[in-house]
Amino acid sequence: MIEVTIDSVRVNLMSPHRLVILREVGADRYLPIWVGPYEAEAITVGLQEVEMNRPLTHDLLKSVFNTFNAKIKRIEIISLKEDIFYGNIVAEVNGQDVNVDSRPSDAIALAVRAHVPILVDESVMQGAGITPEADMESSTGAPAQSPAQTRAAPPVGDVSTERLSVFEDFLGKLDLDKLDDKNKDKPDDEGKSDKPAKPKSDKPDKPSKPKKK
């Protein structure tokens, strides 16, 4: 398993969906995941540690774990099947590890509140991860930057034109017109699964177009 951190939560101005970008710790490899607006908001609120008058869904979930003396140890993104991510919450109950099936977006929102690691299976990173330098070199023929030349990730919410350009080619391949047409008459209700490039309301988190290495 590979440990990652949340690099940023991006807003797509052409659709209601959000893009959570995870970055591998100690490397310049990224995992972009489409999530719904409510899940993205829950992640952002947790990252910014905003105090709410009443607990949100993921705050409630954390309280339920604590009430039953279940310690959240980590969350995992364990597989990618048919362009759908599958997540897992690992908790310790009475000295034993318990695995709870979860969408990655919900698991991430819980992880930022419990301050636990986020891990991604290597096969998922291989199937859907992107390496900016390698992608830019293959498309432009320019040499990749050395690790010393690589800039550190800006904090969540910090808009950087230079960093956004890294994902320009990735986002440019998405068929956003079809995405908007399919969601035009569908309300965004909390509890529905995350909407990727070709959304299905009963599916969990998905990448747009996983890039295999």
> What pLDDT sits at residue 97?
94
What are the residue ranges spanned by the domains of the chain? 2-140+165-183
DSSP 156-202: TT---HHHHHHTHHHHHTS-HHHHHHHHTT----BTBPP--SS--TT
User: What is the percent of the chain with per-residue pLDDT over 90, rounded to a whole number?
Assistant: 46
Residue 31 has pLDDT above 60, yes or no: yes
Tell me the pTM.
Answer: 0.65
Give 209's pLDDT tier (boundaries 50, 70, 90): low
CA distance linking residue 23 with residue 94, whole number of Å: 33
More confident residue, 106 or 204: 106
Of 1.25.40.10, 3.20.20.80, 3.40.50.1450, 3.10.690.10, the CATH number of 2-140+165-183 is 3.10.690.10
AA identity, residue 129:
G
Give 158's pLDDT tier (boundaries 50, 70, 90): very low
